[in-house]
Structure 1
Amino acid sequence: MDPTNQPPDPSPFLSWKDPREVAKRIKILIKAIEQSPVSVIITDPRGVIQYVNPKFTKLMGYTLEEAVGQTPRILKGGFLTREFYTNLWDTILAGNEWHGLFHNRTKQGDLVWELASISPIRDDNGVITHFVGVKEDITELKRLQDQMAHMAHHDQLTGLPNRFLFLDRLSQMLAQARRRETSFAVLYLDLDDFKAVNDTRGHAAGDSLLTAVAQRLQGCVRETDTVSRMGGDEFTILLADVHDLADVERIVATILTAISTPFTVGDAECRVGVSIGVAIYPLDGLDVDPLLSTADGALYKVKASGRGGYCFPARHAEP
C-alpha cells in the first residue's frame, strides 16, 4: 500500500509540471496520432486543413503537403446534400461534437464510407481555434451490409426482387396511384411445362431456364416496372402508370411471345409456355389483397382452360 495513503494519479498525462515530462508526453501523443489506425484531420476554424496523419494519406491518396492548405471539399463524393454539410457546420461552430457518415472520394476517384467524429479544439479562453476529425473507413462493412440487404430482398437465383420486395413495391405503387389518381397493373405468371424440363434435364438446367426467363421478362417491360420471382416457376410483374388497357394487353402479348420462343439450356433447346393472370387498379380492386386475389384467380382460370394464355378481368368488364 502507498505509505502516503494517496491514490495513484489516474491520468498522468494531466500532470504538466516538469518540462522534460511535458516534451516526453507530447512526443507520445504525436506518435499515437501518427500511428493511429484511423484517419485524423485537423483544420483551422474556417475548415482549412492544417494536418493529416499517415492513415489519412494512405486511405485518401493525398500527401500531407497536398492536403495542407486545402479544405475537406477535395474529398466530397457528390452524394451528400447541402443540408448535410450545413448541419455539420452549425453543430461544430456551436461548439458541439458532430457524429455521422461521410461518402468521400479518394484522390484516385474511389468512393469510401467513413464513420466520423468532429470536435472543436478550444484555447485557454474557450475560443475555438481548430477542429479535429477522426474517421474510420467502413467501406467494407457498408458493402457487406448492402449485400445482406440485397439478399434479404432479392431472389438468389435470378437476382429479381423477391416476394417481400414485391409486396413492398406494390404497397408503394398503390399509395402513389391513390394520390395521383392513376392506374397500374398486377400480373401473375406461371410457367407451363417447367416441371417436365426440371425432371428430365435436372435442377441445374431448370435453374438456368429460370434465369433466362427472368432476363426475357425484364426485356419486355419498362424501367419503371418491376419483375419479381415469387418462388419456383412463379413470377409477378407490376406495370406502373397504366393509361390504356390495350397497352397492358400489348405487353402481355409481348411476354407470351418472348417466353414461347425456344430457350437454349446447355447444349440443347427447350420450350416452355406461360400463363398470365392480370388485375388492374382500380378496376379489379382498391387494395393489395383484392388485387392479388383477382390476379391469382385470373391465373387459375387460364390454367384450368388449357394454359398458354392470359385472363384479363378488367378487359372483359369493359362495356
Structure 2
Amino acid sequence: MFFLVVAATTEVIVYLLDSKNQEHERSDVVERVSTLRARLEGELNSTLHLTRGLIAYVATHPDVQEPNFSQLVSEILTQGRNIRNIGLAKNNIITHIFPLAGNESALGLEYENNSTQWPAVKRAMEVKSTVVAGPVNLVQGGTAFIARTPIYTRKGITGLLSEHRPSYWGLASIVIDIPSLFQSAGIAEQMDGLNLALRGKDSLGAQGGMIFGDKTLFSQNPVTQSIVLPNGSWQIAAIPIDGWGSDQTVLWPVRIIGWLMALFIGTLIAALVKARATNLELALQDPLTGLPNRRLLEDRLQLLLEHHKRNKTGFGVLSIDLDGFKAINDTLGHRAGDQLLQIAATRMQSSVRASDTVCRSGGDEFIILVDDVHSRSDLEKAQQQVINKLTGNTLVEKQSIQLKASSGVAYYPEDGDSMDSLLMVSDRKMYKNKNKGKIVDIDSANRV
C-alpha cells in the first residue's frame, strides 16, 4: 500500500512539473513565433510600401515612358532588398519590367491567358487592392511571391456637374525573392530547435496550400499564428524539433528519488511498470499484426468524417475478410493462422498509400480507410488493387496456400454520413461477395 501511495505521489508530482514545463515550453515557442510573424509582416509591409510612389505616378501619368519608369524603379530597388523586379501590366499585359536583364521573357505576358497567374490577378481587380500571390512559377524561371496592386486613373465626365470616376489602367507587380524575404525575417534563426511550416498559398490562410515545411505539422498540436497580408493571410505553425515535453532533465531526479523510495516495498514495481508500458502500447495496436486496432480505427474514421464533411470531399471504407480462414486453423493449427494474418496485413499495407489506414478489426477481418477518393470508380480501383495484392500463393507451415479474400466498399457521402452507416454498408457488401463461395485452397501436395 505504501508503495502505491509513494508511486502515485511521485507520478502526480512529475505530472505537475511536466505540465508546468510544457506551459513554459509552449510560451517560449509562442514568443518565438510571434517574433517571426512580426518580422515577416514588417518585411512584407516595408517592401509593399516602397511602390506607393510608383503607383501614384502611373495613376497620374498613364502613358508612362520607359526612361521614367526605369528611373523610378531603380531608386526603389536600392531600398528593397527583397525585390527581384518590378513590372507594370497595362490592360493586364506586362509592358514594363525592371531590371530587364534576365526578365525579357516576361514582357508581353497576357495574364488572362495564363491560367496559373490569372486567378490572383482577377482577385486583385475584384478587391481593388493589393493581393500577394505565390509561390508562383515565374515565366522567366524560378519561384517568387508576387504582390499585385491594381492602378486606377481618373477621367473626366461631362455632365451637369464636373465629376471624376476611377478607370482601371492595369497592375503594378512586385516580384519578391522568397529566400531573401525569409532570410531578412530571420526564419533560419527562429528554426533553431523548432520545426516550422507555413501555409496559405495565394494569401488564402489555413485554406491555402503549403509554402514550406511539412503539412502534417499542423495536426501535431502546434503553436499557430496568422501573418496578416493585404486582403489575406498566411498561417505559420511551430513545435519543438523533438516534440512537446521532450526535455525531462528536471523531472528525472524527482522520479528517481520517488521510485527508489517505492522499491523498499518490493520488486513488484518492475512488473507493474512493464505491464503499464505494455498496456499503453497495445491500447491502439493489434499485438499480432502491429496494425491499428478497432479503437484507433474509430478515432481515425471520425477524423475523416469531420474533415470530409467540412471540405465536401469523398473517402472510402473497405471491409476485407479472409476466405476459408477457419479451415487454415482447423487444418494447420493456430500458429499457421497467425502467420497468415501477418502475411495478409503486410500485403494490404503495401497495396495502399501512406495516407490510407489499414486496421485489423478482429479475427480475420480487416478495414481499410481510403482517404481523398474523388469517385466511387476510384474507390473500386483501390479495392481491386488491394485484392490483387492480397490474393495469391503463400507458404505457411510448409504448406502452399492460395490466399483469397472477400471485400466490400462504402463511399462517403453516397453510402452514409456516419461511422456506423459506412461500416455497416461495407460489411454488408463484403458478406454479400463472400456468399458467392470464395475459399482458401490448401494444396497439400505442395509441401516443402
The interval holding the TM-score normalised by the smaller chain is: 0.5 to 0.7
Secondary structure at the aligned position of 2:283 is classed as helix
Aligned pair partner of 1:275 in 406, 427, 433: 406
How far residue 146 of structure 1 moved from its aligned partner, in angstroms, is 6.1
2:246 alignment counterpart: 103
1:296 matched to 2:421? The reply is no
Farther off after superposition, 248-257 or 200-209: 248-257
How far residue 142 of structure 1 moved from its aligned partner, in angstroms, is 10
How far residue 114 of structure 1 moved from its aligned partner, in angstroms, is 4.1
Give me the whole-angstrom Cα distance separating, in 1, the residues matched to 2:334 and 2:246: 42
2:346 alignment counterpart: 215
Secondary structure at the aligned position of 1:242 is classed as coil
The answer on whether the counterparts of 2:395 and 2:401 sit within 8 Å (CA) in structure 1 is yes
Letter in 2 for 1:217: M
Give me the whole-angstrom Cα distance separating, in 1, the residues matched to 2:277 and 2:300: 19
Cα distance change, pair 143–250 in 1 and its aligned pair in 2 (3 A): farther
How far residue 246 of structure 1 moved from its aligned partner, in angstroms, is 2.4
Give me the whole-angstrom Cα distance separating, in 2, the residues matched to 1:116 and 1:77: 20
The answer on whether the counterparts of 1:102 and 1:115 sit within 8 Å (CA) in structure 2 is no
Cα distance change, pair 209–114 in 1 and its aligned pair in 2 (3 A): farther
Give TM-score scaled by structure 2 length.
0.39
The answer on whether the counterparts of 1:260 and 1:272 sit within 8 Å (CA) in structure 2 is yes
2:330 alignment counterpart: 199
Aligned pair partner of 1:162 in 287, 290, 293: 293
Aligned pair partner of 1:187 in 314, 318, 323: 318
Give me the whole-angstrom Cα distance separating, in 2, the residues matched to 1:151 and 1:114: 28
The answer on whether the counterparts of 1:102 and 1:114 sit within 8 Å (CA) in structure 2 is no
What pairs up with 1:1-319 in 2 under 5 angstroms?
102-104=245-247, 113-116=248-251, 136=255, 147-307=278-438
1:50 alignment counterpart: none
Cα distance change, pair 172–146 in 1 and its aligned pair in 2 (3 A): farther
The superposition leaves residues 122-154 of structure 1 with CA deviations (integer Å, 9 ceiling, x where unpaired) of xxxxxxxxxxxx66579x999986653230111
Cα distance change, pair 268–136 in 1 and its aligned pair in 2 (3 A): same
Give TM-score scaled by structure 1 length.
0.53
Secondary structure at the aligned position of 1:149 is classed as helix
The superposition leaves residues 72-97 of structure 1 with CA deviations (integer Å, 9 ceiling, x where unpaired) of xxxx97589997xxxxxxxxxxxxxx
Give me the whole-angstrom Cα distance separating, in 2, the residues matched to 1:301 and 1:81: 42
Farther off after superposition, 220-229 or 252-261: 252-261
Say what the alpha-carbon RMSD is for the aligned residues: 3.3
Give me the whole-angstrom Cα distance separating, in 2, the residues matched to 1:219 and 1:81: 29
Letter in 2 for 1:203: H
Give me the whole-angstrom Cα distance separating, in 1, the residues matched to 2:254 and 2:334: 48
Cα distance change, pair 177–143 in 1 and its aligned pair in 2 (3 A): farther
Secondary structure at the aligned position of 1:276 is classed as strand
Cα distance change, pair 102–176 in 1 and its aligned pair in 2 (3 A): closer
The answer on whether the counterparts of 2:319 and 2:367 sit within 8 Å (CA) in structure 1 is yes
Secondary structure at the aligned position of 2:416 is classed as coil
Letter in 2 for 1:164: R
Give me the whole-angstrom Cα distance separating, in 2, the residues matched to 1:180 and 1:82: 22
Moved over 4 A (4+): 76-83, 134-138, 140-147
How far residue 272 of structure 1 moved from its aligned partner, in angstroms, is 2.1
Cα distance change, pair 205–142 in 1 and its aligned pair in 2 (3 A): same
Letter in 2 for 1:246: S
Give me the whole-angstrom Cα distance separating, in 2, the residues matched to 1:144 and 1:77: 34
The answer on whether the counterparts of 2:315 and 2:373 sit within 8 Å (CA) in structure 1 is yes
2:179 alignment counterpart: none
Cα distance change, pair 179–81 in 1 and its aligned pair in 2 (3 A): closer
Secondary structure at the aligned position of 1:271 is classed as strand
- Size of the aligned set, in residue pairs, is 192
How far residue 238 of structure 1 moved from its aligned partner, in angstroms, is 0.2
How far residue 231 of structure 1 moved from its aligned partner, in angstroms, is 1.0
The answer on whether the counterparts of 2:293 and 2:361 sit within 8 Å (CA) in structure 1 is yes
Secondary structure at the aligned position of 1:305 is classed as coil
The answer on whether the counterparts of 2:332 and 2:397 sit within 8 Å (CA) in structure 1 is no
The answer on whether the counterparts of 2:351 and 2:385 sit within 8 Å (CA) in structure 1 is yes
How far residue 275 of structure 1 moved from its aligned partner, in angstroms, is 0.5
Cα distance change, pair 152–269 in 1 and its aligned pair in 2 (3 A): same
How far residue 245 of structure 1 moved from its aligned partner, in angstroms, is 2.4
Cα distance change, pair 102–242 in 1 and its aligned pair in 2 (3 A): closer
Give me the whole-angstrom Cα distance separating, in 2, the residues matched to 1:102 and 1:229: 31
The superposition leaves residues 250-308 of structure 1 with CA deviations (integer Å, 9 ceiling, x where unpaired) of 22112222222111123332122110010010010011111111111111211223347
Give me the whole-angstrom Cα distance separating, in 1, the residues matched to 2:331 and 2:221: 56
How far residue 199 of structure 1 moved from its aligned partner, in angstroms, is 0.9
Letter in 1 for 2:389: A
